[in-house]
Structure 1
Amino acid sequence: MSNLNSHARYVIDSNSFIEPFKRYYSMEHFPSYWEWMKQYLIDNSSEIVVPEVVFNELKNSKDKLATWISAYVEPVVFKEYGNDPAYFVEYGKIMNYLQDCGFYQRPAIDNWSQDWKADPKLIAIAAAYNLKIITFEQPAGHLDRRNPMKKEPKIPDIADYMGVSCVSLFQVEDELKLLI
């Protein structure tokens, strides 16, 4: 695990920052939440990994969240996965599965093939480093080869195939005993 904290247990999806920012914990009304998140992420014993692809997605939003992300999260961004052969093996498994499973139409597969797309990278990181994914995303439901989806794959569906667990931010907040 090159330069990955040995205490790491989770890798976090962009929506686990965006949803609290937009729906649950506005920065104006719940500054204590954002202070807790900041302290938890920058603490050397942090169990939550923020991969570079998620950081890049969030810092480009041009809002208060982007400013917060740039100010507090950038120093702890996990970048080294891009040099790790284990990550590339897992990423390859994901892309091969998308091609071969028959559940997704070409536009959905092409979407996940884009270099900027965080979802497959997030799953590959989780698989390579034995981490759980923190996400609000839900499975698509029944997948059918006779009627492949036009929409992009859902993280929990592909994570399940890869043997990776997904948990909601609320579950992690409970486990880490968030008090605001």
Structure 2
Amino acid sequence: MAKYLLDSNVFIQAHRMYYPFDVVPSFWNKILELSNDGIIISIDKVKKELCETSNPDQLSVWCENELVSSFFVDSTSCVDIYAQLANWAHSSTHFLQSAKDEFLATDLADPWLISYAKKHDLTIVTHEISQPQRRNRIKIPEPCIHFGVKYLSPIEMFREIGENF
């Protein structure tokens, strides 16, 4: 069973900044290996963020063609947890209303990622870091901390599972 749930930014930042396909193919091979071994997964809303674009790029094509269809799981199983997350966001006096609205936008993967991780006891892998004083955006770490969901960076995940590439 999967242990880690990947955020969109893991793929996007790897592709654009740290591990381009033509320079570090071993990173992408490791993602495929971990996916095929059932160690990592993501959700349907992440797939939508990565692949449903009017201008497909190398990353969207790779996700469509290389990752098995079961990698991106259906997130509707966690609607009950999503409702709790929505109530938490709405009742917060810390965040601006615009931050709440953005966080709970229908197709944004973040709240669904947190909900899925909470429901299925998974660790979220993301590049986002906690910024508890920030009011204008709800970042993944803040609700994770509130709901007791573990999160870590991609490098921390690789270290935790003893992988290298």
When normalised by structure 2's length, the TM-score is 0.91
Does 2:91 correspond to 1:100? yes
Distance 1:89 1:170 in 2: 31
- The residue that corresponds to 2:40 in the other structure is 48
Distance 1:37 1:79 in 2: 16
Match of 1:17 among 11, 18, 28: 11
Change (3 A) 1:79 1:37: closer
Distance 2:5 2:141 in 1: 13
Unpaired runs of 5+ residues, structure 2, are none
> SS where residue 88 of structure 2 aligns?
helix
Corresponding letter in the other structure for 1:20: A
Does 2:156 correspond to 1:171? yes
Q: Is residue 55–residue 74 contact of structure 1 (8 Å, CA) maintained in 2?
A: no
Q: Report the Cα offset of residue 74 of structure 1.
A: 5.0
Q: Is residue 114–residue 144 contact of structure 2 (8 Å, CA) maintained in 1?
A: yes
- The residue that corresponds to 2:118 in the other structure is 127
Larger radius of gyration: 1
Match of 2:79 among 81, 85, 88: 88
Unpaired runs of 5+ residues, structure 1, are 1-6, 144-148
Say what the alpha-carbon RMSD is for the aligned residues: 1.6
Question: What is the aligned length?
Answer: 163
Q: Is residue 126–residue 151 contact of structure 2 (8 Å, CA) maintained in 1?
A: yes
Distance 2:23 2:108 in 1: 31
- The residue that corresponds to 2:71 in the other structure is 77
Q: Report the Cα offset of residue 24 of structure 1.
A: 1.2
Q: Is residue 27–residue 34 contact of structure 1 (8 Å, CA) maintained in 2?
A: yes
Q: Report the Cα offset of residue 37 of structure 1.
A: 1.1
Corresponding letter in the other structure for 1:92: A
Q: Is residue 134–residue 166 contact of structure 1 (8 Å, CA) maintained in 2?
A: yes
- The residue that corresponds to 1:30 in the other structure is 24
Corresponding letter in the other structure for 1:55: K
Distance 1:121 1:80 in 2: 10
CA distances 1:99-157 after superposition (whole Å, capped 9, x unpaired): 112111111111122211100000000110011100010112336xxxxx2x2201000
> SS where residue 110 of structure 1 aligns?
helix
> SS where residue 50 of structure 1 aligns?
strand
Distance 1:71 1:56 in 2: 14
Corresponding letter in the other structure for 1:35: N
Q: Equivalent pairs: percent with the same residue?
A: 25
